[in-house]
C-alpha cells in the first residue's frame, strides 16, 4: 500500500485543527472514520480500529494537558492578551498540540505517522519536537523558532524554553540508536535563547535557570544559575573608520 505523503497528512491535520481555538478534541471528534483510514495506512493490519479507539479514549486527557500548556504560555508571556490568542496564534502551542497527538500515536506503536505529524508542525513553526520525547505538564514555549528537542529527551513539569534552544545528543552514531542520547530537564527549569544542552547523561536539576548561548554537556544541581560569560567592546563611531567594512 502506498504511504500517504506529507501533504496528505498535513491536509488531515489542518482539518482537525481548523475550527475554533485549535481544540484537538473537538476537531478530531467528527473525523473518526478518516482518522482510522489514515492510521490503517501505517499500523499493523487489523490494528487501525483498536488504535483509533485508544486515541479517542485519550482525547479528554490530551485536551486537559493542552489546556495546561496554553495556560503556561499565557502566564509566561506578558504579550499574550488571552488564552484564545495563545491557542489560535502562538506557534509554540501549535507545535505542542501536534506533539501531544504524535507522542500518543508513537506510544501505541504506530510507525512513521507520528514523525510525519511532527514534520508538519516543524515546517509550520520552525519548532522540531521528536514524537519520542517525553514532556510533562504545563510546557511553555516562548517564541520558539529554532527549538530542537531530540527523541530521548525527558522534560518535567512547568518547563519553559525560549527560541533556538537545542536539547540534543553528544553523538550521532547510528550505533547509539535505542539508547538515551538526549538530556533530562527537571521540573521548573527555564532555558533561555540559543542555549544548547547535550547528552543522555546530562540532567538539569529542578528550578534551574540556563542563560542564553550556554553550551552545556554536564549535569547541574537543582536551583542553579548557568550562564555564558562573554566580552564586548564599545567605541565611538567617530573612531571606527573601518566599521562599514565588516558591519551588516
- pLDDT of 248 over the 90 cut: no
- pLDDT of 27 over the 60 cut: yes
- pLDDT of 246 over the 50 cut: no
> What is residue 1's predicted lDDT score, i.e. its pLDDT?
55
- pLDDT of 239 over the 70 cut: no
Structurally, at CATH architecture level, domain 1-126 sits in Orthogonal Bundle (1.10)
> What is residue 240's predicted lDDT score, i.e. its pLDDT?
58
Please state the domain extents for the chain. 1-126, 133-228
CA atoms within a 13 Å half-sphere pointing along the CA-CB vector of 187 = 3
- Which pTM does this prediction carry? 0.92
Kind of pairing, strands 148-149 and 128-129? parallel
- pLDDT of 231 over the 90 cut: no
> What is residue 88's predicted lDDT score, i.e. its pLDDT?
94
Q: Is the dihedral of CA 41, 47, 49, 53 positive or negative?
A: negative
C-alpha cell at 36: 482510522
> What is residue 228's predicted lDDT score, i.e. its pLDDT?
87
Q: Is the dihedral of CA 151, 171, 144, 77 positive or negative?
A: positive
Task: Assess if CATH 3.40.50.300 describes domain 133-228.
Answer: no
pLDDT digits (tens, 9 = 90+) for 90-134: 999 999 999 999 999 999 999 999 999 999 999 999 999 999 999
**Looking at per-residue confidence, does 237 or 64 come out higher?**
64
Number of Cβ within a 10 Å radius of residue 233: 4
- pLDDT of 87 over the 60 cut: yes
pLDDT digits (tens, 9 = 90+) for 126-175: 999 999 999 999 999 999 999 999 999 999 999 999 999 999 999 777 88
Give the mean pLDDT of 14-43. 91
Reported as type and span, the H/E element at residue 134 is strand 134-135
pLDDT digits (tens, 9 = 90+) for 174-219: 888 889 999 999 999 999 999 999 999 999 999 999 999 999 999 9
Q: What is the DSSP code string of 37-79?
A: HHHHTTSPTT-HHHHHHHHHHHHHHHHHHHHHHHHHHHHH-TT
Amino acid at each position: 500500500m502506498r504511504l500517504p505523503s506529507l501533504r496528505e497528512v498535513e491536509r488531515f491535520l489542518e482539518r482537525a485543527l481548523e475550527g475554533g481555538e485549535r481544540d484537538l478534541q473537538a476537531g478530531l471528534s467528527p473525523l473518526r472514520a478518516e482518522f482510522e483510514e489514515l492510521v490503517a495506512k501505517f499500523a499493523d493490519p487489523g490494528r487501525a480500529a483498536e488504535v483509533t479507539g485508544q486515541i479517542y479514549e485519550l482525547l479528554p486527557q490530551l485536551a486537559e494537558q493542552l489546556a495546561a500548556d496554553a495556560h503556561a504560555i499565557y502566564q509566561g508571556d506578558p504579550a499574550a492578551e488571552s488564552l484564545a490568542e495563545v491557542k489560535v496564534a502562538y506557534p509554540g502551542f501549535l507545535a505542542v498540540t501536534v506533539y501531544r497527538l504524535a507522542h500518543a500515536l508513537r506510544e501505541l506503536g504506530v510507525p512513521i505517522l507520528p514523525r510525519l505529524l511532527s514534520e508538519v508542525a516543524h515546517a509550520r513553526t520552525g519548532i522540531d519536537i521528536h514524537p519520542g520525547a517525553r514532556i510533562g505538564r504545563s510546557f511553555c514555549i516562548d517564541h520558539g523558532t529554532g527549538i530542537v528537542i531530540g527523541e530521548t529527551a525527558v522534560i518535567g513539569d512547568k518547563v519553559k524554553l525560549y527560541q533556538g534552544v537545542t536539547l540534543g545528543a553528544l553523538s550521532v552514531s547510528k550505533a547509539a540508536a535505542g539508547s538515551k542520547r538526549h538530556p533530562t530537564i527537571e521540573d521548573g527549569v527555564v532555558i533561555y535563547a540559543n542555549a544548547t544542552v547535550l547528552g543522555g547523561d546530562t540532567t538539569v536539576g529542578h528550578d534551574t535557570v540556563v542563560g542564553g548561548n550556554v553550551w552545556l554537556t554536564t549535569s547541574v544541581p537543582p536551583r542553579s544559575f548557568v550562564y555564558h560569560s562573554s566580552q564586548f567592546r564599545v567605541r565611538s563611531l567617530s573612531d571606527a573608520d573601518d566599521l562599514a567594512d565588516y558591519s551588516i
